[in-house]
């Protein structure tokens, strides 16, 4: 049961691929990994908000109402609209202006953040986020037959809400013939292959405060994604703590009582959407959102709450205390 394991940086994150044995007449795992890496580079070049030459930047700057768009661009916009629809507008792909106003003007990859604990101490009272009343995302239309995207000029699209999940799903589609595989696009993970059902993958979940990995999920397929405040967090010129998960109703960073959510889903886009929507919703509603597929909620205090299927605790064992081993 050999696997090709390759890691590289892309999309402002870390990407890792584990690819098992190829099917008949398929390219080797090494060749598939190289192809996937090229695809990620193309994906990033086309859909990055931080690359002035990207198709996304061209779309956002275009003053026409209907704009020709590549299949990849249309897929990204459709994924964003699906996320918005699924979350009732909480995961809003049209908050590009607001995120830039908050200070997220360039990729924060490699930038040193600020301690989340300090930000939580200074954060405003907690309350659930709410969808924007304008719901600009409802004005976006994708026409695959015509190869165009329509939206009122000035409505800017941001792939940030579903970009990495979409990349993971698209790479997973390329690897569907392999015995087993993991596609990890910055923590948005897709798992597949017939052999994964027999020998599940162990996926560690990182705690947003401690950085430790207190839980391991054994997955036989599907996807898992995590959304949290511990990365891409900074202080603006006024010293206010800011992060990248915005409350669509206010356009400001959301402080809901949750600092991290891990969600399971059939696809990485679904898992990523659920994780973001649950975090933005706060503990009560977030718990409900994860009830169907399962997940973990991390409260401001650092307490981890299991939701949905993960609350069954089929084989839960806490690590033994230090010194127990002799």
Interaction with another protein in 207-246: which residues (CB under 8 A)?
207-208, 210-222, 224-232
How far apart CA 229 and CA 224 sit, in angstroms, is 17
Residue 58 binds another protein, judged by CB under 8 A: no
Nearer to another protein, 156 or 243 (CB): 243
Is residue 147 part of the contact set for another protein (CB under 8 A)? no
- Closer CB to another protein, residue 147 or residue 214? 214
Please report, in angstroms and rounded to a whole number, the separation of the first and last CA atoms in the chain: 33
Binding residues for another protein restricted to 18-47, rule: CB under 8 A? 18
- Beta bridge pairs of residue 225: 263
Nearer to another protein, 70 or 311 (CB): 311
Residue 68's DSSP bridge partners are 148
Where helices occur in the chain by DSSP H, the ranges are: 29-47, 55-61, 71-86, 96-101, 116-122, 163-174, 194-198, 268-281, 283-289
Provide, rounded to whole angstroms, the least separation between the CB of residue 249 and another protein.
22
CB of 184 to another protein, least distance (A): 6
Q: Does 300 bind another protein (CB under 8 A)?
A: no
Q: Which stretch binds another protein (CB under 8 A): 59-67, 137-145, 169-177, 302-310?
A: 302-310
252 exposure class (CB count in 10 Å sphere: 0-12, 13-18, 19+): middle
Pick the stretch among 11-19, 53-61, 70-78, 95-103 that binds another protein (CB under 8 A): 11-19
Q: How is residue 90 written in tokens?
A: 């909480």
Of 117-136, which residues contact another protein (CB under 8 A)? none
DSSP label at 233?
A: E
| Binding residue for another protein, selected from 22, 80, 93, 186, defined by CB under 8 A | 186
38 touches 119 (CB < 8 A)? no
Q: Does 159 bind another protein (CB under 8 A)?
A: no
Residues 6+ apart with CB under 8 A from 120: 255, 259, 300
Q: How far is the CB of 290 from another protein (least distance, A)?
A: 8
d(CA 220, CA 136): 38
* Residue 288 C-beta: closest distance to another protein, Å: 7
Kindly state whether residue 184 participates in binding another protein, applying the rule CB under 8 A.
yes
């Amino acid at each position: 049961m050999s696997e090709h394991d390759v890691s590289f940086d892309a999309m402002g994150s870390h990407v890792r691929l584990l690819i098992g044995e190829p099917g008949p007449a398929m390219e080797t795992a090494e060749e598939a990994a190289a192809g996937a890496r090229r695809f990620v580079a193309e994906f990033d070049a086309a859909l990055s908000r931080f690359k002035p030459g990207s198709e996304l930047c061209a779309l956002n700057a275009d003053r026409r109402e209907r704009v020709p768009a590549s299949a990849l661009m249309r897929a990204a916009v459709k994924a964003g609209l699906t996320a918005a629809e699924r979350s009732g507008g909480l995961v809003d792909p049209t908050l590009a202006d607001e995120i830039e106003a908050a200070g997220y003007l360039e990729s924060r990859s490699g930038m040193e953040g600020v301690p989340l604990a300090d930000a939580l101490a200074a954060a405003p009272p907690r309350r659930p986020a709410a969808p924007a009343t304008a719901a600009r995302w409802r004005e976006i239309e994708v026409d695959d037959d015509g190869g165009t995207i329509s939206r009122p000029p000035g409505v800017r699209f941001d792939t940030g809400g579903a970009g990495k999940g979409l990349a993971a799903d698209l790479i997973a589609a390329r690897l569907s013939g392999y015995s087993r595989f993991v596609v990890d696009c910055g923590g948005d993970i897709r798992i597949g292959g017939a052999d994964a059902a027999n020998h599940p993958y162990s996926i560690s979940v990182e705690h947003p405060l401690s950085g430790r990995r207190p839980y391991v999920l054994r997955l036989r397929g599907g996807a898992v994604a995590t959304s949290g405040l511990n990365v891409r967090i900074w202080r603006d010129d006024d010293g206010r703590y800011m992060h990248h998960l915005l409350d669509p109703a206010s356009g400001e960073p959301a402080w809901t009582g949750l600092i991290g959510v891990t969600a399971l889903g059939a696809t990485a886009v679904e898992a990523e959407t659920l994780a973001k929507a649950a975090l933005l919703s706060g503990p009560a509603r977030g718990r409900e959102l994860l009830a169907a597929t399962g997940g973990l909620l991390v409260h401001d205090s650092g307490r981890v709450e299991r939701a949905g299927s993960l609350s069954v605790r089929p084989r839960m064992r806490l690590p033994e205390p230090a010194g127990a081993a002799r």
